[in-house]
Structure 1
């Protein structure tokens, strides 16, 4: 959206006039510029050359396909995506049609506090302005790709039938005409569309498109997440037929690896097994105390051929998506749990890599091959770990000397190389939801981190490195898994936070994994260990897929490609096809068409990966809210993991759930956000709630259908920082004893702010049960 500047003098403008025009207009397309200046014929061509020159010089930047703007400038109003979150949990947006020069902007809440806090990936309409420390974006309203559709729950009363959205950030409650509401039941999960209406005020009217389930179904959280994020489900009849019409693998074109005693080590509840490992001493006298490590991966490329129906649907899905109660697989079960699963005792087609490591853990060589293998044992992580710890069973006992001890000894050698490489050692505790036999939630418990996990992880990482190296050596285009170093802005934010806990961090020193690991080691046993770990994690960029290599910062690797999970990641299937082409291992390798589309494929699989991550996260939030619904009113210990203008985000110790303490409920004074101190600070007293602080909170609302948790602060704020500036008495602080009371003592109750009701409820969120 641009301003309309006054019409300038006709004729080809000079550089300064053109730049001034674009500065005033915000942005404009070449055709619009030509029309405003009255340019025709040769003058239009001269304008095009002038725009190209100014863009090449970095004076102008592109906006969309045809637009131009002054470099580094943003329009007064624009559509932006939420793309990043800093150490405090503050959000940053990028102009949707901005070029590389378009800066990110700090997101500010809407001035009236009527719009609920947005989240990562949301599309917003914002007003841009220059703040004292960079660009700021004031929220106007939240936009959605499917703004005419609402996923919600039916609420029936004697007077009306409504659809209440399951998205806790949505305000679109729809009324359903009584004439079509007869078959609907209270608690039905439905997909509805917003009907056009001549009425500008009052509730919107809706039309039911589909009934997809019940709110009280134990599986509702996954169903909602699947529909809310548009995950493709199921497979077409043609794909199912292609998957079933596959022959058992033979030795044709393959090396016989059936005597190599591979084993699979997976989660106890795994239904498919796409990788197997084996290790043995290297008998080459030139490599004393060295090891040979084998990694075999299901040869999915043998069954999913380029441009087949199987291939097209796999690419559309991009990856499998995992929920506590189900999996939405990338491939049909007849493949993912059948021919492409390395089942014990059954012949399976594989792509294997044989890696050689010296006594110091340095990889000195490797070789890929297509093979026919047979898994000799199926173990769970816990089973393998117990065996190494001295508790063997009937399965692990007979294979200790021949298979398990060599695997662990090889890993110990590989660990030397890993430690020398010093990949980022962030500890990210995960929670695991245990489903009961009735489909409900039996428990939520921390996911254990075992040495067996790390062994498989390191062997898979090395196999992925081998894949990238081989494809580069054979000059075969590939999709890398890339992870850029943290931006300077993120490093500055980290340094500001560390200053608040007395940890120095030189902003001018380049970021590397050893610096981060040193920081994590120094704080690991201290009171700030959890929050430092969290803030370092937020400092990192998101990993993506790309045909252009920039290395992998977190793993501290120069080249890296995903190779080890083609059953569940399309990116890995592309890498397999690249190896087949580059090493002349068959006719089903990467095609010329796929090479031409690698950029588009990389963008696609990055997008589907983020879609799945968002759906998995949302489902987890809803499952946890369902688990906590019967605990409303209880008090929990937790830690402040986010400090924003909207309030405090607190992570509960027992479940790892994140809940919001609305800023409007923090007490009798007005709290403002101090971004440098990473704190909410009382304007009158200077008392503060800071990032990382341990607190006690009361659970006020838990709403399973939205995944919303609303908390009330029980702990008192910390006293005023004696080194902080004196409190500023603004309008709210003048007269008498300071600002007007904003709690129970004020007639009419506290004023809602930031879309949060004074009771702690969010707009569009029903109250959970109270004991």
Structure 2
């Protein structure tokens, strides 16, 4: 007999009680929009208004959150999730966990993988195995006492490889052990005849050749990546650890080599238009060029025409080709301090599609008209043949505008550069009116020595030349989304959701401790955050407020459904301007080509049907790249500082948890951990509202943003981990009046190290 108390019946036409509504949202994540809920409960007229009020109350209470157009329980997995298959349960069923999970101390939920029965359907679902990364459809579990979710595999993204990465440590007899780079990895035994040319201290890829119930597995060295003292090895650790494809298959390279230059046939000839590229000085590919001129139309007095031309990658990379399959497998290019793992082979990215100076190149161009107030008056897209008039660096273009032109910028200063800066001035008016989120979080750049080790860490100057290109690219992206929507063409948007109610409340409590208020309700806009940032500007807590605002934000992703971009304060936004290094942009190019009838290489019906899966995959690959890049920087800095154990450094508290403090060294960009057990003999309380650890007896503590002196106690370069000991005495803190956790502990020296957090 069914448990009627646990599952009360649904009464059609009546707004359900809160518990029934919450259970429906939990169990039906794909039917949790207001429209679907109304349909499920048969609500019409006044009852729909009543439902809307109830849902608003549940949001205000933090019981549900908005995700795109649907409602979810806080912490719930989205209907399509990338999972890592990590283990089996007692019945031998595969268990997966989300590939990405917030680094807030919570445990990622377990997901039971349901493998399809053979012959059960016409189209057999993909089969996964231990170690695989998969894209899966998520369903709330019907049975209690087990994993919270079940899943059906939609696509296997990365297959497990029978290889391990580690550092070889030799014994006197020539045998050795491979020490894993992963914290949960297992040591491997290597006999002398199985180590090949590997030397002591080499980073190697090893193949497991025998594994029994007892003793360590035996392995054979498959390849030597390099010495662990080399930066090359450090970036390869991240590449291997995250399964980033870095070797192009022969079929892909052949397809790239066989490609020939595009011709001007069926293209508009814009080779006489003096478009210029403005990029970093060390850029090897150039996928965007810009031009500006006064608008001659009497309908737009004192307005400008801005042209953005983007490399026509869709001409060379056709759907279902070897190049296309490999590009989707990679999702994006990955940038390390010493190397780039490109999405496309160099023949395409650095040659045929790079907008080289003085060379004919195919491009998709958008010509945009702006008024003197910076409002867009219209735009058109064109498939063109162009010829870049000049290749400039940001510093070179800025120096020319600032009065120091060189031999290249001098001749084009009046005719090309000054009109660009004039147009940027008009676009800036529109940006100021739009009020995108303006965080002040400077990024650091690592400079390497010739031997691959760290030379120094610096913060590059933020120039108007950077802002000019950024704003023109944003406007081109907006134009692409607007055009495709107008043509009713399916596409992949770049979306950024509003901060969740839970994150809003955490930020609100924190700001209240600084006597700064944050508006309540569902009408939060980016300009509200800008008001907060302006109040903190110049104050001792400016950096702290910027970091907390950043942490409150949702993560931008790719999606076929549009919810707008909160951070940029734009309702229609798609990535169009970097098809050499982002697959999302290539999809948008194909959509434009197809919907505007611009020739070959348009989007196909199969691609349109797969947009949801493609968006989920490339969003996961983007996060993979971000984590790999961050971990490589952490390892580089840890390697750089490994010889300075017991030295003192000036740092800043960059994170506060129940377990201790994260401290960043601004001079190096290094992020290390101070365990709470090493802070002193007091009992430390985690004050979540103030983001502080406070001594219960003394009232002395440490808060997010505090400047402190720390001693480097331990460094593990391969793990990118640093452990600090606090040298500064805490400052007096007021008694906590809001929520706090007594999860501190008294001083007790503990061995080992806790790794730094990932990118936040």
1:501–1:145 Cα change, 3 Å:
farther
The one of 617, 625, 630 equivalent to 1:617 is: 630
Q: What is the TM-score normalised by the length of structure 1?
A: 0.78
Q: Give distance in 1, aligned partners of 2:340 and 2:567.
A: 28
Q: Give distance in 2, aligned partners of 1:499 and 1:197.
A: 58
3-state SS, counterpart of residue 27 of structure 2: strand
In structure 2, the residue matched to 1:486 is: 499
Q: How far has the Cα of 1:595 moved from its partner?
A: 0.7
Q: Contact conserved, 1:296 with 1:351, CA < 8 A, in 2?
A: yes
Q: Give distance in 1, aligned partners of 2:571 and 2:431.
A: 14
In structure 2, the residue matched to 1:708 is: 721
Q: How far has the Cα of 1:429 moved from its partner?
A: 1.1
3-state SS, counterpart of residue 719 of structure 2: coil
Q: How far has the Cα of 1:418 moved from its partner?
A: 0.7
3-state SS, counterpart of residue 331 of structure 1: coil
Structure 1 portions without partners, runs of 5+: 1-11, 21-53, 66-70, 99-120, 122-127, 129-135, 137-143, 733-738, 743-749, 765-771
Matched, 1:557 2:565: no
**1:144-178, Cα deviation, whole Å (9 max, x unpaired):** 996986422122344973322223x4363444456
* More deviation, 463-472/661-670: 661-670
- Once the two structures are superposed, the pairs formed by residues 159-174 of structure 1 within 5 Å of their partners are 161-167=176-182, 169-170=183-184, 172-174=186-188
In structure 1, the residue matched to 2:694 is: 681
Q: Contact conserved, 2:195 with 2:220, CA < 8 A, in 1?
A: no
- Once the two structures are superposed, the pairs formed by residues 57-206 of structure 1 within 5 Å of their partners are 58=24, 61=27, 80-81=97-98, 83=100, 85=102, 93-94=108-109, 96=111, 150-158=164-172, 161-167=176-182, 169-170=183-184, 172-176=186-190, 180=194, 184-192=198-206, 196-199=211-214
Q: How far has the Cα of 1:14 moved from its partner?
A: 5.2
**1:314-360, Cα deviation, whole Å (9 max, x unpaired):** 11111111111111111111111111000010100010000000111
Q: Contact conserved, 1:685 with 1:720, CA < 8 A, in 2?
A: no
- Once the two structures are superposed, the pairs formed by residues 244-643 of structure 1 within 5 Å of their partners are 244-508=257-521, 510-643=523-656
Q: Give distance in 1, aligned partners of 2:195 and 2:332.
A: 38
Matched, 1:655 2:638: no
Q: How far has the Cα of 1:656 moved from its partner?
A: 1.7
Q: How far has the Cα of 1:731 moved from its partner?
A: 13
In structure 2, the residue matched to 1:111 is: none
Q: What is the TM-score normalised by the length of structure 2?
A: 0.79
CA RMSD of aligned residues (A): 3.5
Q: Give distance in 1, aligned partners of 2:256 and 2:736.
A: 68
Q: Give distance in 2, aligned partners of 1:151 and 1:252.
A: 50
Q: How far has the Cα of 1:197 moved from its partner?
A: 3.2
Q: Give distance in 1, aligned partners of 2:580 and 2:697.
A: 59
In structure 2, the residue matched to 1:23 is: none
Q: How far has the Cα of 1:558 moved from its partner?
A: 0.5
Matched, 1:16 2:5: yes
3-state SS, counterpart of residue 701 of structure 1: strand
Q: How far has the Cα of 1:725 moved from its partner?
A: 9.6
**1:129-158, Cα deviation, whole Å (9 max, x unpaired):** xxxxxxx9xxxxxxx996986422122344
Q: Give distance in 2, aligned partners of 1:583 and 1:618.
A: 42
**1:478-512, Cα deviation, whole Å (9 max, x unpaired):** 00000000000000111121123332234446321
1:238–1:192 Cα change, 3 Å:
closer
In structure 2, the residue matched to 1:694 is: 707
Q: Give distance in 1, aligned partners of 2:680 and 2:159.
A: 38
Q: Give distance in 2, aligned partners of 1:677 and 1:146.
A: 44
Q: Give distance in 2, aligned partners of 1:96 and 1:258.
A: 55
3-state SS, counterpart of residue 604 of structure 1: helix
**1:434-460, Cα deviation, whole Å (9 max, x unpaired):** 122233322211122111000000000
Q: Contact conserved, 2:719 with 2:755, CA < 8 A, in 1?
A: no
Q: Give distance in 1, aligned partners of 2:298 and 2:671.
A: 56
In structure 2, the residue matched to 1:112 is: none
3-state SS, counterpart of residue 242 of structure 1: helix
The one of 218, 227, 244 equivalent to 1:231 is: 244
**1:341-387, Cα deviation, whole Å (9 max, x unpaired):** 00010100010000000111000100001001000011000001111
Higher relative contact order (CA 8 A, sep 6+): 1
Q: Contact conserved, 2:496 with 2:564, CA < 8 A, in 1?
A: yes
1:531–1:94 Cα change, 3 Å:
farther
Q: Give distance in 2, aligned partners of 1:556 and 1:92.
A: 33
